[in-house]
Amino acid sequence: MGSVLHPSLQGHVWDTHTHVFGPPERYPLAPTRGYTPPVRWIDQLGKASAVASVAHLVMVHPSVYGPDLSALTDALAAGGGKYRGVAVVAPDASTARFAELHQAGIRALRFNLVSVAGTSFEGFDALAAKAAEHGWHAQIFIHPRNLSDVIALRARTSIPFVLDHFGGFHAGTDLDSPAWEALLTLVRDANCYVKLSGFYRLSKEGFPYADLDPMVKSLAAASMDRLIWGSDWPHTWFFEQASGKPPPYADLLQPITRNFPDLASQRRILIDNPRQLYA
């Protein structure tokens, strides 16, 4: 059963990291962006995820749209309230705007310090205060060098944090390094989750991404209650690189089922933990 999703979990799994891209004539791309994506809309995402028995999808606002949330909110509306979203929100957004986004299915703020046309932590405190009123969290995409900033922010707010893609650490990371230990401390001692996602971005060996297993096990030893999974569909790294072939969607569950073959662990990472954040 090492590479198999337990049958009782099929149709209940949460994928906490996906993106959608609509027709550019309807959803204009930002002039300054890191890549130009093909159309990958909610119907295609639904078909890909269904093959892997994934039922719950979280769509993350991509940097190529700048501050325009139209594609995200339209995709959420097309899902009829079934899906959840993560949005980039302006620091001066009104209370009414937060209420509107919550009604649309948004459950988190996105801070992206990695991508071209990403964001910063400007206005974080004001945004976090409004997010707290709706039970949202902060989803943060960083390089490991940004961890000190995250630790400082963590001390100033009560909302949960979710760190994308292993907190930005790549395969081969020294698990005895101060930076990795800082990440583990956040996971152990603070309301901070790590997203087991972006395997294809972070692996040096490629599928089945076994060179990331030591990091997975280290994070699990720190706290099984703070791990969630995401596919990163449709795998924007390949658009950024303009080369290579995205992995089949179902392949991206294999690092989870391989490292956590037991039912209880799979349920925690794929259902219980994400439900705390997005349900």
Q: Is the dihedral of CA 216, 219, 221, 224 positive or negative?
A: negative
Distance CA 67, CA 99 (A): 18
**Which pLDDT belongs to residue 53?**
92
Distance CA 180, CA 34 (A): 28
Q: Which amino acid is at 80?
A: G
> pLDDT for 253-279, tens place per residue?
999 999 999 999 999 999 999 999 998
Q: Contact at 8 Å (CB) between 268 and 225?
A: yes
CATH architecture of 7-278: Alpha-Beta Barrel (3.20)
Asked if the model's pLDDT at residue 42 lies above 70, the reply is yes
Distance CA 213, CA 274 (A): 21
Asked if the model's pLDDT at residue 37 lies above 60, the reply is yes
**Which pLDDT belongs to residue 105?**
98
> pLDDT for 82-118, tens place per residue?
999 999 999 999 999 999 999 999 999 999 998 877 7
Distance CA 90, CA 124 (A): 10
More confident residue, 161 or 189: 161
**Which pLDDT belongs to residue 243?**
65
Overall pTM surpassing 0.85 (yes/no): yes
Q: pLDDT over 70 for what percent of the chain?
A: 98
3-class secondary structure, 16: strand
Q: Contact at 8 Å (CB) between 252 and 51?
A: no
Label residue 168 by pLDDT band (50, 70, 90): very high
Sequence ranges of the domains in the chain: 7-278
Label residue 239 by pLDDT band (50, 70, 90): confident
